[in-house]
Amino acid sequence: MRRNIVAGNWKMNTTVPEGVQLAKEVCEAVSAAQGLKCDVIVGVPFTHLTAVREVIDIEKVGLAAQNCADHVSGAYTGEVSAAMVASTGANYVILGHSERRGYYNETPEMLKTKVDLALENGLKVIFCCGESLEEREAGKVEDVIKAEISESLFHLTAEQWANIVIAYEPIWAIGTGKTATSDQAEEVHAFIRGLVAEKFGDEIAGDTTILYGGSCKPSNAAELFAKPDIDGGLIGGASLKAGDFMGIVTAF
């Protein structure tokens, strides 16, 4: 069955004590909330994973890393493997964020390897895709999305696919305050679901969670989440304050 998810992506924000405090606040608010209609995840820096895992109830709030290495182990100074992430008790990893693709030159081939390693280590993957403004203006949205998803994910089996969540994040909407309209977002989400249906069939496509990301906030979340193919959000800036984040979590 398709699950609604609201996941925070804290990016490179908060010290460990600040992050622990934020995670505690989110977990307390989620525990106190009645009848939530979505799963809640916090995506924290590597340094925070173990400390945050100790203060959350993982049954109530999932825990995601924001990246993992494209190698199993060894002489890769500064890298963090999928096995290391899993050993902290995290249950998700965000992969393919446009900031990683853009600033750290992550290629579809590298992401394919990261996805495989994450799944082998029992992590669920929140896989990001999305077009730049130039690509949108050039009418290339569908080509970009299709390439990003098929090149890094379409080698998976249907069984593995059950552990994939897609996040559509138009790059021009990330951290800019410019949200895609709910119609613009729905159009791409429906296209993504169609791609998944072509590859894995209607039933699996119907069960796939597709999140929207890009300046989602309490004031626009309800309209976005009301669309039939938008199953929640990947939230950057608005995930850094428990009150704002909960305003999105409760928007369903």
Q: Which residues are catalytic?
A: 97, 169
Size of the site for ligand PEP (CB under 6 A): 13
Task: Between 136 and 200, name the residue whose CB sits nearer to ligand PEP.
Answer: 136
For ligand PEP, the binding residue among 216, 242, 246, 248 (CB under 6 A) is 216
Task: Between 19 and 213, name the residue whose CB sits nearer to ligand PEP.
Answer: 213
Map the footprint of ligand PEP across residues 166-185, applying CB under 6 A.
169, 174-175
Instruction: Tokens for 200, please give them.
Output: 């894995």
| Cα–Cα distances in angstroms (integers) from residue 127 to residues 64, 109, 251, in the given order | 12, 14, 23
Cβ–Cβ < 8 Å for 168, 210: yes
Q: Is residue 214 within the footprint of ligand PEP (CB under 6 A)?
A: yes
Residues 6+ positions from 161 with CB-CB distance below 8 Å? 153, 196, 200, 204, 208
Q: Is residue 232 within the footprint of ligand PEP (CB under 6 A)?
A: no
* Site map (CB under 6 A) of ligand PEP, residues 124-163, x = contact: ----------------------------------------
Q: How far is it, in rounded angstroms, from Cα 223 to Cα 219?
A: 9
CA angle 117, 122, 127 (to 5 degrees): 60
Residues contributing to the site for ligand PEP (CB under 6 A): 9, 169, 174-175, 213-216, 234-238
